[in-house]
């Protein structure tokens, strides 16, 4: 499945870029630079200046992602037989992208309602997760790698999946922080309004503080996963990806601090979103390796047919 793998891998990279652009759009206050949808000032080819550049570019990149994943879906259908789990997954991905596009339009039509804007971001992260699973499952390198032992596979299924869930939740809460303008509700760091546990009666402060707490939890979970994988002598390719996750979670914490200290400057805030999405993708990759290995962690489990892989992924 080399062709579908390549298409899925491009979709993952494209989605990361789209999430970064979405953050730039919000950070530059360009979300309503195009007051109508799907056109921009009544045309699909507006003058690309100021906020219109960022907002319309974001729309164009989003539209291109739908076409790109449509190609990936076509390739997956060509390379699999009827009833294959990958067909269901890719069609679900297309549906998710179309719904997300509608939500993107609703954010403009209804002037950036918090719930819809946050749902728009959440669906992007769900799609990123799906595309990452598909990329990992179709990778031509999978069968050539050494098998995972039972303990490593179990660590990845439990630890990496838990890390991915925490990072996803933290990112969603981060979306709430962004869309409710709670980014500076705690103007100091590491304390919040001069206290380690601020008054939580204020909704904006409570939301911002929850985002920080989940950030600490995510950091501990990911670093704990890295430690377990190195202490158990996991295969080198697993350790390398674990190190990527560890580096990303530390970078995320740093960018979060810089975002507050810089009073939400465009660059650190946008990189903070990109870092969260990249961290999620790396953890999903690790978790998928664990589920692909099967409960026995044997070489046969790693090289099993795609139908067995699909069964294993039911738990992802």
What percent of the chain is modeled with pLDDT above 70?
92
pLDDT value at position 170? 97
Task: Give the residue-averaged pLDDT of 176-186.
Answer: 96
Cα 144 to the center of its chain, rounded Å:
27
**pLDDT of 300 strictly over 60:** no
Q: What percent of the chain has pLDDT over 90?
A: 87
Tell which wins on pLDDT, 87 or 296. 87
**pLDDT value at 256 more than 70:** yes
Alpha-carbon dihedral of residues 146, 147, 149, 150, nearest 10 degrees?
160
- The 10s digit of each residue's pLDDT in 44-77 is 999 999 999 999 999 999 999 999 999 999 999 9
CA separation for the pair 224, 196 (Å, rounded): 24
CA-CA distance, 180 to 27, in Å (whole number)? 13
3-state secondary structure of 48: coil
Cα(274)–Cα(50) distance, integer angstroms? 22
Residue 146: pLDDT band with limits 50, 70, 90: confident
Domain boundaries, the chain: 1-140, 143-316
Residue 298 has pLDDT above 60, yes or no: no
What is the C-alpha to C-alpha distance for residues 57 and 106, in angstroms, rounded to an integer?
18
49 burial (CB, 10 Å; 0-12 / 13-18 / 19+) is exposed
What is this structure's pTM?
0.91
Mean pLDDT of 225-232: 95
Burial of residue 209 (number of CB atoms within 10 Å: 0-12, 13-18, 19+): buried
pLDDT band, residue 294 (cuts 50/70/90):
low
pLDDT of 304 > 50? The answer is: no
């Amino acid at each position: 499945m080399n062709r579908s793998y390549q298409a899925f891998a491009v979709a993952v990279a494209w989605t990361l870029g789209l999430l970064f652009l979405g953050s730039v759009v919000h950070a530059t206050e360009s979300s309503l630079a195009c007051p109508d949808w799907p056109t921009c000032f009544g045309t699909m080819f507006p003058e690309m200046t100021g906020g219109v550049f960022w907002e319309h570019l974001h729309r164009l990149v989003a539209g291109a992602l739908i076409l790109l994943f449509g190609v990936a879906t076509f390739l997956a259908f060509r390379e699999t037989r009827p009833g294959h789990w990958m067909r269901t997954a890719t069609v679900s991905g297309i549906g998710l992208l179309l719904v997300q596009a509608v939500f993107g339009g609703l954010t403009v039509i209804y002037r950036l309602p918090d719930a819809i804007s946050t749902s728009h971001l959440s669906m992007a992260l769900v799609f990123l997760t799906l595309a990452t699973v598909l990329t990992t499952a179709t990778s031509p390198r999978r069968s050539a790698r050494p098998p995972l032992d039972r303990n490593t596979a179990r660590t990845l299924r439990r630890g990496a999946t838990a890390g991915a869930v925490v990072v996803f939740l933290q990112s969603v809460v981060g979306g709430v922080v962004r869309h409710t303008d709670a980014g500076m509700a705690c103007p100091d760091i590491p304390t919040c309004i001069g206290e380690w546990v601020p008054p939580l009666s204020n909704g904006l402060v409570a939301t911002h503080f929850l985002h920080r707490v989940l950030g600490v939890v995510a950091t501990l979970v990911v670093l704990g996963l890295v430690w377990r994988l190195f202490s158990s002598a996991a295969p080198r390719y697993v350790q390398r990806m674990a190190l990527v996750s560890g580096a990303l979670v530390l970078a995320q914490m740093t960018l979060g601090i810089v975002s507050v200290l810089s009073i939400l400057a465009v660059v650190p805030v946008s990189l903070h979103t990109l870092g969260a999405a990249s961290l999620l993708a790396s953890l999903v990759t690790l978790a998928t390796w664990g589920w692909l290995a099967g409960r026995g962690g044997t070489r046969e489990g790693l090289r099993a047919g795609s139908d067995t892989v699909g069964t294993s992924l039911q738990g992802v």
